[in-house]
Amino acid sequence: MSGVSPKDLAEIYRTTYRALVRFLYRKVWDAERAEDLAQEAFARAVIHKPDNARGWLFIVAANMARDDARRAARERRHLTLLTAEPQESTSPADEALEVESDRARVRAALDDLSPRDREVLLLWDSGLSYEEIAAQTGLARGAIGTTLSRARRRLVRAYEAGKSGEHVARG
């Protein structure tokens, strides 16, 4: 096999780029950065011409996101002070803020999952099949359904718990 052709890769780009960005976004939580990393993954695919380009892209993307998170943790350590400052609380009705807090709750709920459950859930949500997820994670194909059922249940529970916890805190 000689690897993916540029034409095939262009088609994979068309069908997979968005999914890859979505996958990356839930790891780096920065839309701009997610797009940059997705672009870089495809740039590497152009050079490496992997056989199973789709799966390869998600593996590369996961690795890049992990490296990125490590670097970001190092570089942004001093920024915690800035980002932890109280959000302006004078406009609780603001829709955009509402969306933002929903996002934060989902993010917190995802953080509650085990790394393996989270990975399987995110890969499924990015459109990968059980077969592809199994190849990606090293799990048996037959274990994917069980992992997904557990991951979904925990996600929903953690989200609801976070939400009711906030209501209690607010009084």
Partner 1 sequence: MSHVDDGTLHAYLDGELSPAEAQGIDAHLAQCPACRGRLEEERALITRAGELLALAAPPDRELPPFRAGDVKPPAGLWWRVRLPLAWAATVVLALGIGTYLGSGSAYTERSAPALAPLNAPVATPENQSGDLAAADTAARRMPQQSRVAARVAKRAVAPAPAARHEAVAGITRDRALSPANPAPVPVPAPQVGLGIIDGARRAEEGSTFSLDSARVLLGADPLVVPGAPIRAIRRAHEIGYSAVVIVEQALDSNTVIAVVSGRRSPVALGEVVVTGAAAMAARPDSASAAERERVDRARVADSLGAAPAAKASARLMRDETRNRPPRRVGNLEIRISGPLPADSLQQLLQLVQPVKP
Contact status: 147 vs partner 1 (CB under 8 A): yes
Is 136 exposed, middle or buried (CB count within 10 Å of its CB: 0-12, 13-18, 19+)?
Answer: middle
Whether 127 contacts 168, CB under 8 Å: no
Sole binder of partner 1 in the list 48, 79, 114, 165 (CB under 8 A): 79
Cα–Cα distances in angstroms (integers) from residue 41 to residues 56, 65, 132, in the given order = 9, 11, 18
Structure tokens at 110: 């995802």
- Taken in order 127, 28, 31, 95, is the CA torsion positive or negative? positive
Sole binder of partner 1 in the list 53, 57, 61, 148 (CB under 8 A): 148
Quote the distance between the C-alpha of residue 23 and its chain's center: 4
1-60 positions binding partner 1, by CB under 8 A: 6, 9-10, 13-14, 17-18, 21-22, 25-26, 30-36, 39-40, 42-43, 46-47
Contact status: 163 vs partner 1 (CB under 8 A): no
Residues of this chain that bind partner 1 (CB under 8 A): 6, 9-10, 13-14, 17-18, 21-22, 25-26, 30-36, 39-40, 42-43, 46-47, 72, 75-76, 79, 81-82, 85, 87-88, 90-91, 94-97, 99-100, 102-103, 105-107, 109-110, 121, 124-125, 129-130, 142-153, 155-156, 159
